[in-house]
Chain A
């Protein structure tokens, strides 16, 4: 018997869709292309099979997501993950938080940062560098976006360059996209 996970965690749960995913052996050539199926592909995730219902979107979103989160140069990987977690906390995407908190922990070996965020939520109190990044991403993720000049000034104060701030805008914003899929089309469960 599986149970739905409601609390923030860095231990990645399983994602269970609310809609019926595309069946891999019934996928159209366009869906297979969007899922990047190759002869060696195995274990396509239920999330990707769910998004394959809209192959035109999936085909462009996957490279967009990967370029924003894993592109070379600019903001560090850990700081992009922090932006992703901040957005996911605002939108309460427990699954997204788990995946990206665990990546942050792997990169930084500092699990206490995420534990502080899980306990404090959007009001979490962090060291100055993390605080500026987290607060900007939280405010940009609100609806409507609420980031302002003070949050940008705080990012400049901690020494972020123009392109690093741009990378933070992009990593927080792409989770405005990812959260609205993952949190609304399915739920995190433990088996």
Chain B
């Protein structure tokens, strides 16, 4: 019996249990893909630890666990991955779900969102880093600072956006590889 270990810390996952990426990619035991992944078990474990570090950090700084989950759900939506959105909506619900964060998670246009200017700037930046990375400029960092986002929080936000985009691509790739077996 293979059990998913999507929400707990890595240390709670046994070595025979699937990581979140494998679960969401629908990897089937006994397939060539499962065998290949078994050869990269260290990478799967480090990916799970990365998830915990950016979504559930011990020191969240100025980005709460709920805000991180809402932003992650939104970015998963931009990546057209409903299963990954559902995972982050579940994390958001566990963290307590203010209505404004639910709207953000659902990907509503930032003009319609009633959030304070600092968080509005954070949402715009998460969208930029997900959808148009190549267009990011020095001025975008200046805009975050002008909106009151601290420099450590700018780095935390970049790591969050970068991780979710990494994760979405690994999941998309594994699904393709599994389907083409």
Contact = CB atoms under 8 A, between A and B. Distances in A.
Contact of A181 (B81, B162, B176): B162
Contact of A152 (B37, B39, B180): B180
Interface residues of B, number: 58
Interface in B43-57: 43, 46-47, 49-50, 53-54, 57
Contact of B36 (A143, A156, A166): A166
A44 interface: no
Interface stretch (A7-15, A35-43, A101-109, A167-175): A167-175
Contact of B53 (A56, A144, A153, A178): A56
A50 B169 contact: no
A90 B170 contact: no
Interface string B140-181: 111000000001101110110111011111101110110111
B40 A53 contact: no
Contact of B166 (A59, A92, A153, A177): A177
B151 A90 contact: no
B79 interface: yes
A74 interface: yes
Q: Range of interface residues on chain A? A: 35 or more
Contacts of B140: 184
Give 9 nearest A-B pairs by CB, closest first. Answer: A169-B173, A92-B134, A180-B162, A173-B169, A53-B155, A177-B166, A64-B46, A53-B152, A57-B159
Interface of A: 18-20, 50-51, 53-54, 56-57, 59-61, 63-64, 67-68, 71, 73-74, 90-93, 140-141, 143-145, 147-149, 151-153, 156, 161-163, 165-167, 169-170, 172-174, 176-181, 183-185, 187
